[in-house]
Amino acid sequence: MGYRETYDASLADPNGFWRHAARAITWSREPNTVLDGSAAPFYRWYPDGVMNTCYNALDRHVEHGRGDQPALHYVSPVTDTMQTLTYDDLLSEVSRFAGVLTGLGVGIGDRVVMSMPMIPEAVIAMLACARIGAVHSVVFGGFAAHELAARIDDAQPKVILSASCGIEPSRVVAYKPLLDDALDQAEHTPDACVVLQRPQLHAEMGERDHDWSELLAAAKPVGCTDVLATDPLYILYTSGTTGKPKGVVRDNGGHAVALAWSMQNIYDIGPGDTWWAASDVGWVVGHSYIVYAPLLVGATTIVYEGKPVGTPDAAAFWRVIEQHGVKALFTAPTAIRAIRKEDPDGALIGNHDLSSLRTLFLAGERLDPDTYHWATRVLDVPVVDNWWQTETGWPIAANPRGLEPLPIKEGSPSVPVPGYDVRVVDGQGDEVEAGIEGSIVIRLPLPPGTLPTLWNADERYVNGYLSAFEGFYTTGDGGFFDADGYLYVMGRTDDVINVAGHRLSTGSIEAAIATHPAVAECAVIGVHDAMKGQNPRAFVVLKSGVDTEPEQISREVVDRVRQQVGPVAAMKEVVVVPGLPKTRSGKILRRTMRGIADGREEPVPSTIEDVRVLEDITPFLKG
# residues contacting ligand COA (CB under 6 A): 25
Binding mask 519-558 for ligand COA (x = CB under 6 A): ----------------------------------------
Cβ–Cβ < 8 Å for 614, 608: yes
# residues contacting ligand AMP (CB under 6 A): 20
Within residues 210-249, the interface with ligand AMP by CB under 6 A covers 238
Within residues 92-121, the interface with ligand COA by CB under 6 A covers none
Task: Work out whether strand 573-576 and strand 533-542 pair parallel, antiparallel, or are unpaired.
Answer: parallel
Identified binder of ligand AMP from the candidate list 25, 104, 451, 489, rule CB under 6 A: 489
Residue 526 CB, shortest distance to ligand AMP, in Å, is: 11
If the CB atoms of residues 97 and 488 are measured against ligand AMP, the closer one turns out to be 488
Identified binder of ligand AMP from the candidate list 95, 389, 450, 592, rule CB under 6 A: 389
If the CB atoms of residues 101 and 290 are measured against ligand AMP, the closer one turns out to be 290
If the CB atoms of residues 550 and 567 are measured against ligand COA, the closer one turns out to be 567
Per DSSP, the residues of 24-46 read GS--SB--S-SEEEEETTEEEES
* CB neighbourhood size of 210 (10 A): 17
* CB neighbourhood size of 180 (10 A): 18
Residue 193, H or E segment = strand 192-196
Identify the burial level of 55 via C-beta atoms within 10 angstroms of its C-beta, where 0-12 means exposed, 13-18 middle and 19 or more buried: buried
Dihedral of CA 164/167/168/172: which sign?
positive
Identified binder of ligand AMP from the candidate list 93, 209, 477, 573, rule CB under 6 A: 477
* CB neighbourhood size of 386 (10 A): 24
Asked if 331 touches ligand AMP (CB under 6 A), the answer is no
Asked if 498 touches ligand AMP (CB under 6 A), the answer is yes
Give the integer Cα–Cα distance in Å for 18 and 43. 14
Choose the contact partner of 361 out of ligand COA, ligand AMP, none; CB within 5 to 8 A by kind: none
Asked if 150 touches ligand COA (CB under 6 A), the answer is no
Q: 501-510 b/e with 16+ CB inside 10 Å = b?
A: bbbbbbbbbb
Asked if 334 touches ligand COA (CB under 6 A), the answer is yes
Within residues 261-290, the interface with ligand COA by CB under 6 A covers 279-280, 283, 285
Asked if 503 touches ligand AMP (CB under 6 A), the answer is yes
Identified binder of ligand AMP from the candidate list 151, 492, 516, 590, rule CB under 6 A: 492
Query: Where does 404-505 have alpha helices with state H?
Result: 458-461
Asked if 198 touches ligand COA (CB under 6 A), the answer is no
Give the integer Cα–Cα distance in Å for 354 and 327. 9
Over 500-524, what HEC string results?
Answer: CCEEEEHHHHHHHHHCCCCEEEEEE
Q: What are the φ and ψ backbone dihedral angles of 110, each rounded to 5 degrees?
A: -70, 145
Asked if 363 touches ligand AMP (CB under 6 A), the answer is yes
Residue 395 CB, shortest distance to ligand AMP, in Å, is: 8
Q: Which of 521, 71, 503, 507 is nearest to 273 (CA)?
A: 71
C-alpha separations of 586 from 71, 130, 319, 371, 516 in Å = 56, 48, 55, 41, 21
Choose the contact partner of 173 out of ligand COA, ligand AMP, none; CB within 5 to 8 A by kind: ligand COA
Residue 366 CB, shortest distance to ligand AMP, in Å, is: 4
Cβ–Cβ < 8 Å for 98, 216: no
Instruction: Report the phi/psi class of residue 298: left, alpha or beta, with left for phi > 0 and alpha for psi in -120 to 50.
Output: left
Choose the contact partner of 498 out of ligand COA, ligand AMP, none; CB within 5 to 8 A by kind: ligand AMP
Asked if 390 touches ligand AMP (CB under 6 A), the answer is yes
Identified binder of ligand AMP from the candidate list 89, 180, 305, 385, rule CB under 6 A: 385
Identified binder of ligand AMP from the candidate list 113, 219, 260, 284, rule CB under 6 A: 284
Residue type, 464: G
Asked if 135 touches ligand COA (CB under 6 A), the answer is no
In the complex, which residues of this chain contact ligand COA (CB under 6 A)? 141-142, 166, 168, 170, 173, 279-280, 283, 285, 307-308, 331-332, 334-335, 338, 363-364, 500-502, 567-568, 570
Binding residues for ligand AMP, rule: CB under 6 A, are 238, 283-284, 363-367, 385-387, 389-390, 413, 476-477, 489, 492, 498, 503
